Structure 1
Amino acid sequence: MAVSRFGVSLDEELLQALDEYVAENHFSNRSQAIRHLIERNLVEKKWKCDNIVAGAVVLVFSHEKTDILKKSSEIQFEYRDVVLSSQGFYLNQQNYLEIIAVKGPSKTLTEISDKLISIKGIQHGKLVMSKAE
């Protein structure tokens, strides 16, 4: 892929914010950060257009609450047309991490993640989506 170069003019505050973003995210330079921000913006547009995207729903909860895994499995079965796979990990004696790989219309992925994250007892939940094509 060919790379094109161009100049960008930013006011001092915006430039400082960009430099902080570069440092916080460990980008090697400003160009890499700008590419990342543009790509993220394009992916978010696809979400809003209900395009086909891929992603993962990440859940953290106490493994002692066995009803959470049961409810999660029931929701995944309900959305079996978009669930690709799921995998679980014991993080320590208390916490369990479940990662559910999904692919489908962004609206549907948002629906399943909202249902999963709202299960009583979920300590942390997040949907991460990316372009699929």
Structure 2
Amino acid sequence: MQRVTLTIDDDLMARLDRYMEAGGHQNRSEAVRDLVRAGLLERPRSEDADRPCIGALVYLYDHDTRQLSKRLTSDHHSHADLSIAALHVHVDAETCLEVSLLRGRKSEVEHFAQHVIGERGVRYGQLVVAPAEAHAPSRHHVEHGRGHGHG
């Protein structure tokens, strides 16, 4: 195991200590290792770029931003091969929340999500990606005539 020295400002250290306590970590080293692992999992890996995935893109946007709703709708229509479903919620008088479910090659899903999040008027965006095997539906799925076989 390697020993590393870090310089962290007081506010960030206080947040780290709260994280450590809330997570039940025995010491700061465990908490930092946990955060580093999580951060590394979030970074794109080049060998995963072509792997199939499923993603949930969550974003908040100002619906009064000129033509933004139209651009977002157009973006989704032009990427119909990636878009599975969408949920639209009016949060308040100015803000909308959308959750878009996406499926495709990881690099394509991430590129699309970055494009949407980068639109002027999008205030917040986060993409959660999970691996998805690209294979034919199982017999159980086909027999039920639906996309899943739970129950």
TM range (shorter): 0.5 to 0.7
**TM-score for both structures, normalised by structure 1:** 0.65
Q: 1:37 to 1:102 in 2, by over 3 A?
A: farther
**Greater relative CO, 1 or 2 (CA 8 Å, sep 6+):** 1
Residue 102 of structure 1 pairs with residue 102 of structure 2: yes
Question: What is residue 129 of structure 1 aligned with on the other side?
Answer: 128
| Mapped partners of 1:22, 1:81: distance in 2 | 44
| Counterparts of 1:13 and 1:114, CA distance in 2 | 31
| Cα displacement (A) at 1:106 | 2.2
Judge conservation of contact 2:61–2:95 (CA < 8 Å) in 1: yes
Aligned length: 124
Q: How well do the aligned residues superpose, as a CA RMSD in angstroms?
A: 3.5
* Residue pairs, 1:1-133, within 5 angstroms: 10-11=3-4, 13=6, 21=16, 23-24=18-19, 26-29=22-25, 34=33, 37-38=36-37, 40-46=39-45, 48-49=46-47, 50=49, 51-65=51-65, 67-120=67-120, 122-133=121-132
Contact 1:89 1:96 in 2 (8 A): yes
- Tell me by how many angstroms 1:64 deviates: 3.3
With over 3 angstroms needed to count, the CA separation of the structure-2 counterparts of 1:103 and 1:127, relative to structure 1, is farther
* Cα separation, partners in 2 of 1:132 and 1:116, compared to 1, 3 Å: same
Do 1:55 and 1:127's aligned partners in 2 also have CA atoms closer than 8 Å?
no
Provide the TM-score with structure 2 as the length reference. Answer: 0.59
**1:22 Cα offset (Å):** 6.2
Partner Cα distance (1:100, 1:124) in 2 = 16
Structure 2: how far apart are the matches of 1:64 and 1:110? 26
Deviations 1:108-130 (A, max 9, x none): 1222123323333x242424233
Conserved in 2, the CA contact under 8 Å of 1:55 and 1:101? Answer: yes
Task: Quote how far apart the aligned CAs of 1:75 are.
Answer: 0.9
